[in-house]
Amino acid sequence: MEEDVLDARRVEAIQDAVEAQDAARLDELLDPLHAADIADLLEQIGPSDRRDLLRLWPNGIDGEILSELDEAIREEVIDQMSPQVLAEAVRELDTDDVVDILEDLEEEDHDRILGALAAVDRVAVERAMSYPEYSAGRLMQREVVIAPEHWNVGQAIDYMRSNESLPDQFYHVILVDPRMKPKGYVTLGRVLSSRRDVLLREIEEDSFRTIEATEPEADVAYIFNQYHLISCPVVDENDRLVGVITIDDAMNVLDEEHEEDMLRMAGVGDEASLSDTVWEAAKGRAVWLFVNLLTAILASSVISAFADTIGQMVALAVLMPIVASMGGNAGTQTMTVAVRALATRDLTAQNAFRVIRREAAVGALNGMVFGLLMALIAGWWFGLPMLALVIGVAMVLTLVAAAAGGILIPMGLQRFGIDPALASGPFVTTVTDVVGFFAFLGLASWILL
């Protein structure tokens, strides 16, 4: 067994140690693991095994493990920690990690966490919690390395060597004026590679910018990704420095945004987790299953309107699912591209017409290719040339509609302040089904009967 890998054999050995109440063996198995691996272990095992493990390993959970845990089980783990262990774990964390934990806990549990902090840290966390949820103020850490803008490299180095309260990790020295307004920053690499007499302002980075504390965290992640930032100062309404956001926090937001988009597009809620109970999982999915049911009834009403046509030609009932399936897949493809482009701001009002025109052309081209293919198959299958024509034309119309709907619906939902990842799926499916069935059955009624 490798020293520091969480694999199936180690998980089995850990469970055996818990079952045997062998605390020494459990320590031996868990100590080499990274905090993220221990968090994964706690998420993978069942609630009963998790409780038994925590009882046998009462002093093992530290701040790093807490910050790595999925929010779905973090509260459960905290509830089983003694006040002393919890206090020690929380003291290890930067303020942004403490805020992240508090956001996922019930209000009545906040006092337990805040009470474990030193007075200065508690004030910093409470100030961060006063900012709007999902804002830069919640995301930032208060621990910042600053230097007056007139200092030279030697003064900065001497200051950092003598300061015992520097953050564990930082990337920039932020230059401020006497009013604590950030004026630039210098990377540690430039500081260490420059002569002591070089002024800090002479080696400032060109990438310097600031973020307001009330800025939405999604915008923060976009800025980091767009401008390749490593860290960024956060300012209050008076442009005074209040904290800093680092790249790891920004990328966590980006990952969460991607995960939420995937879950929402699947209609399972943006907080779905394997740790959810049966009731929680069912409740989270029921809403969009109900919406899908309503849209499916709408599509079925189109079929019902052509019941006589279907009754006169059974072949139409055989071919209808093919039209619907192709349209649904084409719509989902375009919708996925559109939702992602909206999230990354690549799709804007300025280029919308060009993108819509391109997607419609893609739909038309695929419609002609697969319409011709399906026409050949239908003609050979049923021996009716006009039926082959009907399904070929219907396929072109359906795929064009799917492409247009797949991009127009997400854009329209965003325009009205609705998350396109959350609501696009059922509406795109409805459009493709309604257009597909109407085109296919309408053409059949007109041409064949």
Looking at residue 242, what DSSP letter applies? Answer: E
Checking DSSP bridges between strand 211-212 and strand 231-235, what pairing results, if any?
parallel
Among the three residues 265, 287, 308, which one is the final residue of a domain in this structure? 265
pLDDT for 1:
47
358 and 214 in a single domain? The answer is no
288 and 437 in a single domain? The answer is yes
322 and 376 in a single domain? The answer is yes
**CA 236 to chain CA mean position, Å:** 27
**Residues 91, 63 contacting (CB under 8 angstroms):** yes
Q: Which helix (H) or strand (E) segment is 95 a member of?
A: helix 95-103
167 and 304 in a single domain? The answer is no
102 and 221 in a single domain? The answer is no
- Burial (Cβ within 10 Å: 0-12, 13-18, ≥19) of residue 310: middle
Helix, coil or strand: residue 240: coil
Angle, vertex CA 438, rays to CA 432 and CA 441, nearest 5: 130
423 and 297 in a single domain? The answer is yes
Among the three residues 134, 168, 200, which one is the final residue of a domain in this structure? 134
pLDDT for 258:
66
Total number of domains in the chain: 3
Among the three residues 265, 300, 321, which one is the final residue of a domain in this structure? 265
pTM attached to this predicted model: 0.65
Range 259-267, long-range pairs (CB < 8 A, 24+ positions): 260/421, 261/339, 261/340, 261/343, 261/421, 264/419, 264/421, 264/422, 265/335, 265/336, 265/339, 265/421, 265/422, 265/424, 265/425, 266/425, 267/291, 267/292, 267/425, 267/426
**Residues 232, 211 contacting (CB under 8 angstroms):** yes
pLDDT for 265:
58
C-alpha dihedral (233, 239, 243, 247), degrees to nearest 10: -20
Question: How many whole angstroms separate alpha carbon 262 and alpha carbon 122?
Answer: 36
Among all chains, which residue has been given the structure tokens 């300025």?
350
Q: What is the CATH number of the domain that holds 23?
A: 1.25.60.10
152 and 130 in a single domain? The answer is no
Quick count: other Cβ atoms within 10 Å of Cβ 137?
25
260 and 326 in a single domain? The answer is no
102 and 202 in a single domain? The answer is no
Quick count: other Cβ atoms within 10 Å of Cβ 279?
8
Query: What is the residue-level pLDDT of the chain in tens, covering all 449 positions?
Result: 455 678 888 888 999 999 999 999 999 999 889 988 998 899 888 888 889 998 999 888 888 898 888 877 888 888 888 878 888 888 878 788 888 888 877 777 787 788 778 788 888 888 888 898 889 998 898 889 999 999 999 999 999 999 888 887 889 999 999 999 999 999 999 999 999 999 999 999 998 999 999 999 889 988 998 899 999 999 999 999 999 999 988 888 877 776 666 666 555 555 555 556 667 667 766 776 777 778 778 878 888 888 888 888 888 888 888 888 898 888 888 888 888 788 777 888 888 888 889 988 999 999 999 999 999 999 899 888 899 999 999 999 999 999 998 899 889 888 888 878 767 777 888 888 888 888 888 888 888 87
Q: Is residue 367 part of a domain?
A: yes
Residue 196's domain comprises 146-265
Within 8 A by CB and 6+ apart from 409, the residues are 335, 420, 424, 427, 428, 431
